[in-house]
């Protein structure tokens, strides 16, 4: 079993916690950069390649700036994500706008920024024309329907998914968009989430490349890019294998040579829109054990809760936990590691074998860098934590302060009472 290693030591965690109390989310800048470089290298065979980081996974401008320096764009799905991206200096073709059930304001903002707009439905052709205008390049999202299966048992159900349009509708959308002045087109699809196999992107690429050839022949549309979207997973469990991004890039290249090049479409750019793969392993939730409880089971109560990281409560997801300073100790105690919400699913780990945990121990909850802080909420009046960046030189920087009660009450305006108590 491979051991998951935290990217900080106990001494580093203590130094940060002395200034920024736990719980906090911590990100590893060196890890983020190294991984982004591997992604770009894996697809360097494709001239127009660009990774558009899915902002929803880790919406923090400091993180976006790091990825921008590594050559990434951003994938936005809402007005505020567009505003954050604009503030970071992303414009025009640096931005993919992949939304669904899109409000007017969001669509207008995407158009104003010159983003690549990804239409989720045929009816959005008219919607886009009416509320904003038809850009020179437009992308359409594809849903093949049915069941999507990969060799190793991974399956997803596009037929049940609300996203995208059928091939018939894609063809009609392109034809109508061309009549309205669009000149170049993108194809986008997201068929399976958190896949831990090097086959997902190549298989998806095969489907989309063949679709691109058919759509081009049928409508005459010029296909400018194909966006493989997100869905590349990570090894949350220590015994899982990690995706090999170089092998994934090579698998996509083979399909490209097989399908697009012979069709005279070797100039198509490949885009990706990964969130999880870009950030999840390079972020952690750092929390302190504040209580222990011995009833029918053994509990360790920590100062973080599901409001800081909801994946275990929401999906039953596994997040590995390391007790800092006890990395090499025997895991001979069985614990439920729990947060303080009045919800019995607020458990970061259930029946987990860990070293003996004492009050004051600092726990490192792995792989919280994507869909972690981002999915936070304020249930039970819990406040969002700080976010901290660990820099390559070992120093740290607070990149978002923790919420205070004043933030929690900020949207009330019915009595001066709140102003007095905070
Ligand atoms: C969520 C999402 C992504 C990112 O997915 P990951 O699994 O985090 O890589 C990319 N594109 C779209 C449209 C999404 O909704």
Which of these ranges, 206-215, 325-334, 408-417, has the smallest mean pLDDT?
Answer: 408-417
State residue 183's pLDDT score: 98
Taking only the tens place, the pLDDT of each residue in 52-62 is 999 999 999 99
Closest protein CA for atom 3 of ligand 1:
230
Distance 258 CA to ligand 1 centre (A): 27
CB 352 within 8 A of CB 336: yes
**Ligand 1 center to 228 CA (angstroms):** 10
pLDDT band at 156 (very low <50, low <70, confident <90, very high): confident
Residue whose CB lies within 8 A of the most ligand 1 atoms, among 106, 162, 275, for a mutation test: 275
Of the listed ranges 8-12, 147-151, 240-244, 317-321, the least confidently predicted one is: 147-151
Beta bridge partners of 271: 50, 227
> CA distances (Å), 162 to each of 101, 128, 168, 197, 222, in order?
10, 19, 17, 24, 27
Tens of pLDDT, residue by residue over 126-136, are: 999 999 999 99
State the angle between helix axes of 29-42 and 61-69 in degrees (0 to 180), rounded to the nearest 10: 40
Question: How far does the centroid of ligand 1 lie from the alpha carbon of residue 201, in Å?
Answer: 13
Token digits of residue 255: 């399909």
Quick check: is 342 catalytic? yes
Which range (151-165, 167-181, 338-352, 356-370) has the least confidence?
151-165
Instruction: Answer yes or no: is pLDDT of 100 > 70.
Output: yes
* pTM (two decimals): 0.96
What average pLDDT score do residues 80-93 get?
98
Q: Is 56 in the pocket of ligand 1 (CB under 6 A)?
A: yes
Ligand 1 centroid – CA 165 distance (Å): 17
Instruction: Give the model confidence (pLDDT) of 168-209 as tens digits.
Output: 999 999 999 999 999 999 999 999 999 999 999 999 999 999
| Structural element, H or E, at residue 206 | helix 200-219
* Closest ligand 1 atom to 371 CA: 8
Q: Tell me if 279 CB under 6 Å of ligand 1.
A: no
Query: Using CA positions, which residue lies closest to atom 2 of ligand 1?
Result: 230
Query: Ligand 1 pocket, 191 CB below 6 A?
Result: no
- Which pLDDT band, with edges at 50, 70 and 90, does 151 fall under? confident
The predicted pLDDT at position 293 comes to 97
- Residue range 284-302, pLDDT digits in tens: 999 999 999 999 999 999 9
316: which DSSP letter? -
Encode pLDDT of 206-264 as tens digits.
999 999 999 999 999 999 999 999 999 999 999 999 999 999 999 999 999 999 999 99
To test the pocket of ligand 1, the residue of 142, 229, 243, 248 to mutate (highest count of ligand atoms within 8 Å of its CB) is: 229
Question: What's the whole-number average pLDDT of the chain?
Answer: 96
**Percentage of the chain exceeding pLDDT 90:** 94
pLDDT (0 to 100) of residue 422: 60
Please say if the pLDDT value at position 1 is more than 50: no
- Supply the pLDDT for residue 308: 98
Q: How far apart are the CA of 50 and the centre of ligand 1, in A?
A: 15
| Range 6-13 average pLDDT | 98
User: Up-side HSE of residue 132: CA atoms within 13 Å toward CB?
Assistant: 23
Angle at 50 between CA 277 and CA 105, to 5 degrees: 90
Q: What is the CA angle 414-308-243, rounded to 5?
A: 145
Nearest CA to ligand 1 atom 14: 230
- Check if 190 has its Cβ closer than 6 Å to any atom of ligand 1: yes
């Amino acid at each position: 079993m491979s051991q998951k290693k935290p990217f900080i030591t106990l001494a580093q965690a203590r130094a940060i916690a002395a200034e920024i109390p736990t719980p906090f989310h911590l990100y590893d800048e060196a890890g983020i950069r190294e991984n982004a470089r591997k992604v770009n290298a894996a697809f360097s065979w494709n001239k127009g390649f660009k990774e558009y980081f899915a902002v929803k996974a880790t919406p923090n401008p400091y993180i976006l700036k790091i990825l921008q320096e590594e050559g990434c764009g951003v994938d936005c799905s809402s007005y505020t994500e567009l505003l954050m991206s604009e503030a970071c200096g992303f414009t025009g073709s640096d931005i993919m706008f992949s939304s669904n059930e899109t409000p007017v304001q969001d669509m207008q903002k995407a158009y104003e920024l010159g983003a690549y707009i990804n239409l989720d439905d045929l009816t959005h052709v008219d919607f886009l024309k009416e509320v904003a205008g038809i850009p020179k390049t437009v992308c359409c999202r594809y849903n093949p329907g049915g069941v999507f299966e990969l060799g190793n048992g991974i399956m997803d159900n596009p037929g049940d998914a609300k996203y995208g349009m059928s091939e018939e509708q894609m063809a009609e959308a392109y034809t109508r968009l061309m009549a309205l002045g669009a000149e170049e087109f993108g194809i986008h699809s997201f068929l399976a989430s958190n896949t831990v196999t090097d086959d997902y992107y190549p298989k998806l690429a095969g489907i989309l490349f063949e679709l691109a050839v058919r759509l081009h022949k049928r409508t005459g549309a010029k296909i400018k890019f194909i966006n493989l979207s997100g869905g590349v997973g990570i090894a949350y469990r220590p015994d899982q294998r990690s995706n090999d991004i170089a092998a994934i890039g090579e698998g996509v290249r083979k399909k490209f040579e097989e399908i697009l090049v012979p069709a005279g479409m070797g100039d198509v750019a490949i885009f990706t829109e990964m969130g999880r793969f870009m950030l999840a392993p390079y972020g952690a939730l750092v929390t302190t054990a504040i209580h222990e409880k011995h009833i029918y089971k053994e509990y360790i109560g920590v100062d973080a809760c599901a409001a800081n990281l909801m994946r275990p409560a929401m999906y039953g997801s596994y997040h590995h936990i390391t007790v800092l300073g006890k990395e090499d100790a025997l895991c001979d105690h069985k614990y439920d590691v729990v947060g303080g919400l009045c919800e019995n699913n607020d458990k970061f780990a259930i029946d987990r074998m860990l070293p003996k945990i004492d009050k004051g121990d600092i726990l490192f909850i792995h792989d919280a860098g994507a869909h972690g802080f981002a999915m936070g909420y304020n249930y039970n009046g819990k406040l969002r934590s700080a976010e901290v960046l660990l820099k390559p030189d070992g120093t740290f920087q607070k990149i978002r302060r923790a919420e205070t009660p004043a933030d929690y009450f900020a949207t009330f305006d019915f009595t001066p009472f709140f102003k007095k108590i905070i």
